[in-house]
Structure 1
Amino acid sequence: MKTILFDMYHGIGHTNSSLKLAKLLKSSGYKVVYIGHEQYCSPAIKQGFDFVGHNQDIAPSMKQLELLNKRSMFFENINNLFSDSVIKEARRNLTTFKHIVADIAPDIAIVDEEHTARYFFYKALGIPTISIQTMPEKTPDVNIPPFTSYFCPQEDSVLSRYMVSLLWLRQRIKNCFMYRYYLFKYLGQDSLSITKRLIKESGSSFSQLVSYKSSFKFCVKNTPLLVISATDFDFPRHPKNNVFRIGPLKDIENTINAGSPRFESLCQKLQVLKKSEETFVIFCSLGTITFSYLKKTICFFKKMKKVALMNAKMQFVFSVSEFFEIEQLQPVPKNVTVFSNLPQNDFLQYCDIMITHGGMNSITECIFNEVPMLVYPLSPQWDQPGNSARVVYHGLGLRGKIGRDSPKTILKKINQIKGNLEGYKNNIRQMKKKFEEKNESIEVVNIIESIINSYAN
């Protein structure tokens, strides 16, 4: 039995995105193993997949660098520069990582695109790799802007193509600036600089094997890429060699939490209300990784509280994440129910609109549950702005600016969707039909088998 190792980025959403693929491979006779932080791999563990813990980043993460920044950053970095303490720790982490992977002995590793640097470490171990992209494809296309852009392109428009080229130029300048900024800020002790040193020590050339032409970070050249975000949700895109657009691959069963008695009571209440009277339910969640944008998150949910007070006939349900102190919303209006977390996919069947940050998992679940969206991107650095553009492009909902829109503006957009609810739902149903056809396909298993065979040859 061949072993396939999943090395996903440390985020529950990334693990959730891979579950359907992992199940298909397991049912096809492969042994599937996940490696990473136990907290972020918990959905895979609950699904019964083998798991090997590795809770340490090889190079210092941004979180570790920011923690250093809060202390005596300059003097710490001067000390690290002359003592080589950071690179020594990274070497120890890499040695531990190599021992763990050697014990698993995978036939191939499926590596999250946000873990791109690990490709080189698997290569040093002689393990073939496949990249997996949970967001829209991040390499350039003449018709499609970077996924960090809010711009909605137009087909067969010279002006649109010119705008796209400018956006890609801006993204490349931004990427280069940020790499150099962190290089000087941390005196060569940043994650990319340390990774480059480790890769050089492993006998590979970083500059020859990577491309900075990317919506986010960088990508490895000449490595098979599986794009598991929904192909039909993307803008029209040119085909590329070695890129397999297999999405959506979405495990639409709930994989996070069993419903609590309070959650089940709410569902029963909404079920009764929807049968007996005209009840409009709005669900608001900004995803699972709100800790990096906590101030923005708190401010937005306070706005949403005002929106609820302005329209007492609507029922609002907030999922604020474990990092949010619910007491900050006290007193909670009568038409608002607040959870730290809830089984989102299970709950969406009771909702009329979802207000979302625009993560790919949330959008896919809304489409499968036929729920129109109002998208407020939380992070300008990830795919959320580009996803919001795609929601508008396909007529699946509206979007706004999370810091700029007032409670009145938010309510106005909710009422716009409500006023054309059936129109949005019809567009979503058409998209759902395409999703279902792709989601039931086992084409991806054949693709992975052909990639494994090509490496063997």
Structure 2
Amino acid sequence: MPRYLFLCYHGKGHFNPCFQLARTLQQSHEVLFAGVQFFFKYITSQGFSYYPLKTVPFGLGLEEWMCEQQKRKPVYFHALKDRWNDELYNKREQELTKLLDTFEPDVILLDTHQTTDFIVLYPLLKSRKIRLALVHAMLTSVLTDNFPPVNSLVFPDDQAGITREINLLKQKKRNRLWKQKLRFLGMDDDTIIHRRVRKNKIPGRYIAAQQRFYGLVLDNLQEFIFLPREFDFKEARMYPNQHYVGFQVDYGRSEASNDAYTSVRTKILQRKALHKKLVYCAFGTVPIDDAQIFLSFIDNLIVALNDLNVILLLATSLDTNNIQYSDDIYILPYVPQLDVLQYSDVFITHGGLNSIKEAIDQAVPMLVYPGESVMDPPGNSTRVVYHQLGLRGDMKTDSPEDIHGKLHQLLTDGRFKKNVEALKQVNRSYSIDKAITLLSSLPPIE
């Protein structure tokens, strides 16, 4: 029975997109997920086997963080030594070798956020004839000329904006690497990566000339993108080795529930029966630095709901005891999102791709407030606006009147619902069987 190993970057947003593919493979193959120990309980609760790793990918600037976790002091001295001794690589190589000895996979599906693991794995892939493909849990962070970076708010027709954003990202990367070079006596992340590329004799065909802000861009490997092609900009380039497989939302995913949610759900459905509409708001994990901004936004949102004849269901773990709200507003620390979206009319989201995918799959228009600018929420929100699947706001500057206007438009203008429904139907044409067929015929690593 063929064996598939998923090597995922840490974060539910990287595991969840793989679940539907993994469940389908599991019907006739052995499947194993591997990642940091923190996600052991979550992955096993979804019905998958999990191999906890103690190491992290090298070349991503994690030396000092690892020293802090291991309580090795002074942190700077040990991090400097680790960079020069290739410590993260060596530990990663030992652990991944042990993993491959234990599970003996036929195919490895490697998250594009940890592509430096390909360097570690390459000698093993070649000698053991293990095939490998890349999986994109998110839109690509590779910088492409004349195309908006994924963490930007610019549209494809804004060439000046695109150039500005690309130059800004490249400058940030140069600054980061120069700081590392000075701090660690020449041993910055890129130097560490390319030193190991040479030592492991990675063929040049596998190393792309393109850049990303962190890590390595690989080439000439089959790539599977958990999106329909139609969600991206029409200007996006298509490559023969890239395969869009659709959203692949996993409705077999186990989501925790509780009596509080069950009670609220009953009340909301009763109110919806009286022709009220539900606005569902969830922003994922809000960094503590943004807590006050988010709480101020909640205040503005509650004011904005006046005369809209809606119910608000807000999911947040922040302390909202000081917030005043009416009977048609429900605030819970957690809700099972796949269930809530089935009866939502508008989804206010931070712009995480998995949340957007799930909303589209339930035909729910969105109001996106991009939660952070380092990763993909800004670019995701731009695509929502580009395809008229919803609107975008700015949490820091939107007034109650701004929020009211956007919600009113989403609730009354049928074009948004129609466009989301259309993309939902387009996505239905993507079959996971095609991805599995392609996986079964992956070329060997040479």
TM-score of the alignment, normalized to the shorter chain, above 0.5: yes
Q: Deviations over 1:75-121 (max 9, x none)?
A: 74246536878744652343133212321111121000001110111
Question: What's the counterpart of residue 258 of structure 1?
Answer: 256
Matched, 1:336 2:329: yes
Q: Would the alpha carbon gap of residues 182 and 263 (structure 1) be closer, same or farther in structure 2, given more than 3 Å must change?
A: farther
Matched, 1:178 2:176: yes
Question: What's the counterpart of residue 157 of structure 1?
Answer: none
- Conservation of the 8 A alpha-carbon contact between 1:122 and 1:129: no
Question: What's the counterpart of residue 380 of structure 2?
Answer: 387
State the shift of 1:15 in Å.
Answer: 0.4
Unaligned stretches of 5+ residues in structure 1: 155-159
Q: Would the alpha carbon gap of residues 97 and 141 (structure 1) be closer, same or farther in structure 2, given more than 3 Å must change?
A: closer
What pairs up with 1:37-52 in 2 under 5 angstroms? Answer: 37-40=36-39, 42-52=41-51
Question: What's the counterpart of residue 340 of structure 2?
Answer: 347
Question: What's the counterpart of residue 243 of structure 1?
Answer: 242
Aligned equivalent of 1:428, options 404, 413, 420:
420
- Conservation of the 8 A alpha-carbon contact between 2:150 and 2:379: yes
Cα distance in 1, alignment partners of residues 288 and 210 from structure 2:
30
State the shift of 1:213 in Å.
Answer: 2.7
- Conservation of the 8 A alpha-carbon contact between 2:207 and 2:218: yes
Q: Would the alpha carbon gap of residues 176 and 268 (structure 1) be closer, same or farther in structure 2, given more than 3 Å must change?
A: same
Deviates more, 1:8-17 or 1:259-268: 259-268
Q: Would the alpha carbon gap of residues 328 and 181 (structure 1) be closer, same or farther in structure 2, given more than 3 Å must change?
A: farther
Question: What's the counterpart of residue 221 of structure 2?
Answer: 223
State the shift of 1:183 in Å.
Answer: 3.6
Cα distance in 1, alignment partners of residues 114 and 170 from structure 2:
19
- Conservation of the 8 A alpha-carbon contact between 1:231 and 1:247: yes
Question: What's the counterpart of residue 313 of structure 2?
Answer: 317
1:220 is matched by which residue type in structure 2? L
Q: Deviations over 1:383-431 (max 9, x none)?
A: 11111111011111100223332344223322232231x2210111111
Matched, 1:279 2:270: no
Give the secondary-structure state (helix, strand or coil) at the position aligned to 2:227.
strand
Cα distance in 2, alignment partners of residues 306 and 273 from structure 1:
23
Cα distance in 2, alignment partners of residues 338 and 189 from structure 1:
48
Matched, 1:295 2:286: no
Cα distance in 2, alignment partners of residues 406 and 69 from structure 1:
41
Cα distance in 1, alignment partners of residues 115 and 423 from structure 2:
31
Question: What's the counterpart of residue 444 of structure 2?
Answer: 455
Q: Would the alpha carbon gap of residues 297 and 397 (structure 1) be closer, same or farther in structure 2, given more than 3 Å must change?
A: farther
Question: What's the counterpart of residue 369 of structure 1?
Answer: 362
1:247 is matched by which residue type in structure 2? G
Cα distance in 2, alignment partners of residues 328 and 300 from structure 1:
10
Cα distance in 2, alignment partners of residues 297 and 114 from structure 1:
27
Q: Deviations over 1:306-348 (max 9, x none)?
A: 321453553222222xxx4x33443452343222222101111
Give the secondary-structure state (helix, strand or coil) at the position aligned to 2:18.
helix
- Conservation of the 8 A alpha-carbon contact between 2:178 and 2:188: no
What pairs up with 1:43-192 in 2 under 5 angstroms? Answer: 43-59=42-58, 65=64, 76-78=75-77, 80-81=79-80, 87-88=86-87, 91-126=90-125, 127-140=130-143, 144-154=147-157, 160-161=158-159, 163-187=161-185
Matched, 1:444 2:442: no
State the shift of 1:199 in Å.
Answer: 4.7
Cα distance in 2, alignment partners of residues 136 and 350 from structure 1:
28
Unaligned stretches of 5+ residues in structure 2: none
Give the secondary-structure state (helix, strand or coil) at the position aligned to 1:40.
helix
Give the secondary-structure state (helix, strand or coil) at the position aligned to 1:401.
coil
What pairs up with 1:376-415 in 2 under 5 angstroms? Answer: 376-415=369-408
State the shift of 1:190 in Å.
Answer: 6.1
Cα distance in 2, alignment partners of residues 74 and 197 from structure 1:
26
Cα distance in 2, alignment partners of residues 186 and 300 from structure 1:
37
State the shift of 1:13 in Å.
Answer: 1.4
Q: Would the alpha carbon gap of residues 284 and 112 (structure 1) be closer, same or farther in structure 2, given more than 3 Å must change?
A: same
Q: Would the alpha carbon gap of residues 344 and 301 (structure 1) be closer, same or farther in structure 2, given more than 3 Å must change?
A: farther
Cα distance in 2, alignment partners of residues 18 and 285 from structure 1:
22
- Conservation of the 8 A alpha-carbon contact between 1:307 and 1:407: yes
Which TM-score applies when normalising by structure 1?
0.85
Cα distance in 2, alignment partners of residues 223 and 89 from structure 1:
24
Cα distance in 2, alignment partners of residues 397 and 423 from structure 1:
9
Q: Would the alpha carbon gap of residues 450 and 206 (structure 1) be closer, same or farther in structure 2, given more than 3 Å must change?
A: closer
- Conservation of the 8 A alpha-carbon contact between 2:96 and 2:121: no
Aligned residues: 437
- Conservation of the 8 A alpha-carbon contact between 2:57 and 2:116: no
Question: What's the counterpart of residue 22 of structure 2?
Answer: 22
State the shift of 1:143 in Å.
Answer: 5.6
